[in-house]
Amino acid sequence: MTEERNFDAHGGGRFGAFVALPGKLPAPALVLLQEVYGVNRFMRRITEYWAAQGFMAVCPDVYWRLKPGIVLDPETPGHREQALETGGRLDVDLAVRDIAGMVEQLHAAKECSGRVATAGYCLGGKLAYLVGTRGGADCNVSYYGVGIEMHLDEAAKLSKPLLMHIGESDPWTPEAVRARLRDALGASPLVTMHVYPDTGHAFARERAATDVPAMRELANGRTRAFLEANLR
């Protein structure tokens, strides 16, 4: 079952989210954090996938403060440029506060078992990391997060488990960036980092041109085990 639902924002106001519920409730909640393209067809498919795995899956409109309902498609000409421009205007600090507030609300939701995680993709992968350093989720997952290296001064604030998936051939995380991530996070007992050989960006964007099914299934299986270990 899917629905649209509103959540209270940091400092006032409300923002929307796409919600997919599993067959059995209450269940742990999983906040799916969007790529730079908004809550589009690919993020909705990802949200429905995780609901089918037994989680209360919630994908918030992170861009709502810019304009509610921004939806772009990576396979539509011109949308990539619009997405990068929009993502560049996002107030990341406010977005993380909104997400942290949503996590608190989900902890108390009747459909939720009381345990909440985030899993973010691209832009959302960075946001998931920052929720790990600032927010109250029980664990966090970053799929090919872009820009985490700009916030490594916060690495010491991590207090919950973090799982990271990175494509070896991802132009957004070349070896120099991966080295910085390893140096800052690799020794932490809270961090598990997987690098996928010969794999580019957005490899878990199911049915997209960038989809790498074998690597997507491997990463999703690792995420499922991680969530089961930390939320059940």
Q: CATH code at 78?
A: 3.40.50.1820
Question: What pLDDT, on a 0 to 100 scale, did the predictor assign at position 1?
Answer: 87
Q: Which of 59, 112, 122, 139 is catalytic?
A: 122
- Amino acid making up residue 149: E
Please give the share of the chain, as a percent, with pLDDT higher than 90. Answer: 98
HEC string of the chain equals CEEEEEEECCCCCEEEEEEECCCCCCEEEEEEECCCCECCHHHHHHHHHHHHCCCEEEEECCCCCCCCCCECCCCCCCHHHHHHHHHHHCCHHHHHHHHHHHHHHHHCCCCEEEEEEEEEECHHHHHHHHHHHHCCCCEEEEECCCCHHHHHHHHHHCCCCEEEEEECCCCCCCHHHHHHHHHHHCCCCCEEEEEECCCCCCCCCCCCCCCCHHHHHHHHHHHHHHHHHHHC
Q: Which two tokens stand for residue 124?
A: 């959302």
Label residue 135 by pLDDT band (50, 70, 90).
confident
Q: What digits encode the pLDDT tens for the residues 168-180?
A: 999 999 999 999 9
Question: What pLDDT, on a 0 to 100 scale, did the predictor assign at position 109?
Answer: 96
Q: What digits encode the pLDDT tens for the residues 160-215?
A: 999 999 999 999 999 999 999 999 999 999 999 999 999 999 999 999 999 999 99
How many domains, in total, are found in the chain?
A: 1
Q: Which of 79, 138, 165, 201 is catalytic?
A: 201
What is the domain extent for residue 153? 2-231
Q: What digits encode the pLDDT tens for the residues 58-75?
A: 999 999 999 999 999 999
**0.75 exceeded by the pTM?**
yes
Q: Is 201 labeled as catalytic in the residue annotation?
A: yes
Q: Is 165 labeled as catalytic in the residue annotation?
A: no
- Report the greatest alpha carbon distance in the chain: 45
Q: Is 170 labeled as catalytic in the residue annotation?
A: yes
